Amino acid sequence: MAQQPMGLLVAGFDSSPVHEDEFNDWYDTEHVPERRRVPGFVNCERWIGAENSRIAIATYDLQSLDVLKSEPYRAIAGENLSPWSKRVTSKATRLCRFEAKQLPPGSQSAPSGAGGLMMYAMNVTPEAEAEFNAWYDEEHIPRLSAVAGCLLARRFSNVSAVSAGRQRYLAIYHLATPDVCSSEKWKEAANTDWTAKMRPHFRDGLRVVLRRYERMK
């Protein structure tokens, strides 16, 4: 039996409506530790906007998406969120939530040492979908992966998009620093004739550039 691809859970908020200390205390002392204890959570990483520190993104690599259906996870999620979780999330503005399946090779987990992250989610017009996937796999990901400072580039299919009207495709780039994705080398790698051909077919783009969150002492 073929091994299931790894999964990814992404949750994003604009935390501006919540007192900053409470938001970070909740995430650091309850929310993330709860998920680290769930079997199948490979890692839990927090990121904040490179320009706006109130943009908060958490990324969780999963052994597979089945982890989100497991009893240990369901015991702390959804209707079973803690009172603190319900209070904070009711105040913060939800930016995104992705439950995604890693596309081939499907077995890569986040590298250590990344100081930045770039997340790009989008849809594509149906008539261009086959070529879109070929472009991503054959040109775009390999070229960006080769840029100095790009530690890992991965693609995902957002399975939660089907019922929620969200973006179906997600790319995650772990970077040495956030400014890697604004460098001339990155722009050179990204802007090709094939890219220009595909751009008119992109829809609902969500691009977020982040730096690693570090808890204040």
Residue 29 DSSP symbol:
I
Q: 108-126 pLDDT, tens per residue? A: 999 999 999 999 999 999 9
Give Cα 164 distance to the centre of its chain: 17
Residue 84 DSSP symbol:
H
The CATH code that applies to domain 7-212 is 3.30.70.100
How far is residue 132 from each of residues 102, 140, 168, 175, measured CA to CA in Å?
16, 10, 12, 24
Q: 181-200 pLDDT, tens per residue? A: 999 999 999 999 999 999 99
Q: Where are the domains of the chain?
A: 7-212
Mean pLDDT of the chain: 95
Q: How many residues are there in the chain?
A: 217
Q: Which two tokens stand for residue 79?
A: 């209707």
Backbone region of residue 96 per phi and psi (left: phi > 0; alpha: psi in -120 to 50; beta: other values): beta
pLDDT at 1: 47
